[in-house]
Structure 1
């Protein structure tokens, strides 16, 4: 049993590296695309300074549609897009395409919910003081909601880690679990991949919770 694990040690490191590549691309996409989308989603809602029913409903529809799709189905449905973007459907970079598509609306919704936790009076006070929209976003909303946003990012990262394991046919820890743990009936490999995933989740949650606690001004 241990001989199998020892011989596969290089594969474990490669799989973990591939998993981090998928996480880095998808979570990075969530932050850089999902954050502005969530802010726009919040500001175009009824009663906000950029109220716009059409834009808000379109964003709401897109976000809800993507979030309602099981990731396995999304993975298959986006094969043409993945091939067009990266030229292949195999490998961690290819898997990062559907992961990013799943992460962006997921994080956008969490951003919108985090911004709703900011007292409306704070925004009204900033408007009364003549703050520009950019100042309201950067100095008021994101600053006040920073602890909640870190928690949202933590949840998103853990969800993408789970999704990356589902994409086991294209790379990462899930690929190792399927190729050796499932197809070759090496139970010890399957158990080891589960333990690694649990440890990664615990580490991500611990770091995210600590940062959120430090940034929490309450």
Structure 2
């Protein structure tokens, strides 16, 4: 192992742990809240089972605003809200708040797009068989769109890793913050390059895993 990595191994492992925490919370938020939000967006669209123009317009506007907000400015903008629910605006726990919010908006849009790819005949067939809204969602829509949902989550996770590098602004830590503070700012280019390499390995592993899983569950 290179000497520079041995020298900072404690800090490196800590930064990796911080990244895992931030990205992990983002994934949970995306799945637990982004998935139902994206499903609601789909169902409330014109011509869908729960068509509601007002609901769709409001949800669509909120998702668009969050997604179009420059992430660094979103982090700063949410500081009062973060302090309200976490008790502080500094640290890894505080960093998870803006990450969770962008995760929900990001994945919900990908969920909506995946569900829109499901052939309309599938939904019509389900309804004709007397399926409830719940059955249509879980037994037909999610089953048909499962590959796209996995690929969308994979894309989202990679984006979350990228967003996490900005969280040094609020003391969130992570690999990106470590690379900037110890590598770039202290002119230790070699250390910075190793951190970039670590992030690249993580991204490639996630992409490979997501693509493989999506291919295995795609029965079309």
Same fold at TM > 0.5 = yes
Query: What is the CA deviation profile of residues 164-183 of structure 1, one whole-angstrom value per residue up to 9, with x for unaligned ones?
Result: 01213321112211221122
CA contact (8 A) 1:5 1:188 kept: no
User: 1:61-210 residue pairs with structure 2 within 5 A?
Assistant: 61-169=61-169, 170-210=172-212
Structure 2 unaligned blocks of 5 or more: none
Partner secondary structure for residue 168 of structure 1? helix
How far has the Cα of 1:120 moved from its partner?
Answer: 0.3
RMSD: 1.2
Q: Distance in 2 between matches of 1:6 and 1:134?
A: 53
How far has the Cα of 1:90 moved from its partner?
Answer: 2.2
With structure 1 as the length reference, what TM-score do the two structures score? 0.97
How far has the Cα of 1:3 moved from its partner?
Answer: 3.2
Query: What is the CA deviation profile of residues 15-70 of structure 1, one whole-angstrom value per residue up to 9, with x for unaligned ones?
Result: 01110000110111011001110111000000011100000000110011000011
In the other structure, the counterpart of 2:5 is 5
CA contact (8 A) 1:82 1:88 kept: yes
Number of positions where the alignment pairs a residue of Structure 1 with one of Structure 2: 218
Q: Distance in 2 between matches of 1:3 and 1:48?
A: 60
Q: Distance in 2 between matches of 1:193 and 1:166?
A: 15
Q: Distance in 1 between matches of 2:20 and 2:13?
A: 11
In the other structure, the counterpart of 1:57 is 57
How far has the Cα of 1:103 moved from its partner?
Answer: 0.6
